[in-house]
Amino acid sequence: MEYDSGKAARVWQRVQGEKKEGQPSPATENLPALIMEQMQLSNAYRQLADRMHGKDGAVLIRLAREANAQAVCMKGIATLINGFAPRSAGAPQQQSNTDAILRRCYGAELRMLKAYENRTTDAEYGPVFERMAARGREHCCTLLELIGKMGKTN
């Protein structure tokens, strides 16, 4: 049996889905904006951790580390695609009460979760986005627990 490289290339193209040359992968669309939002979440969690002590403060520090890790992971994706990572720094949080910041964080986590879920079918980065979506679902539950605790004390 003789190997036909042209036929093999056509088969692989069908298997991987036809991606037109120069067309960005859906997984990479708006990647700098997603990175920025994750950095802002990390900063917000650190700000909240400074306000909350004990177990809740430790939970918020964990959320901050994980949000930062997800931003760095997306920078890694950008580096593989573009050869460099976009510069991004989380904007400083506005001073608000703790409840308002928690609510903003929950909304941001929901937006990020949707963005990750929309990218899970990507051939190259889908599994990475699936993992980040799972972490985002966990973050949403954790934030709701913290919001629920605050509701008890008011």
Q: What is the pLDDT along the chain (154 residues), one digit of tens a residue?
A: 566 666 655 555 555 555 445 556 666 778 999 999 999 999 999 999 999 989 999 999 999 999 999 999 999 998 988 887 777 665 565 678 999 999 999 999 999 999 999 999 999 999 999 999 999 999 999 999 999 998 765 4
Cα–Cα distance measured from residue 110 to residue 16, given in angstroms and rounded to the nearest whole number: 30
Cα–Cα distance measured from residue 4 to residue 24, given in angstroms and rounded to the nearest whole number: 29
Cα–Cα distance measured from residue 62 to residue 50, given in angstroms and rounded to the nearest whole number: 13
Give 95's DSSP letter: P
Cα–Cα distance measured from residue 129 to residue 121, given in angstroms and rounded to the nearest whole number: 9
And the tokens for 43? 């900063």
Identity of residue 132: M
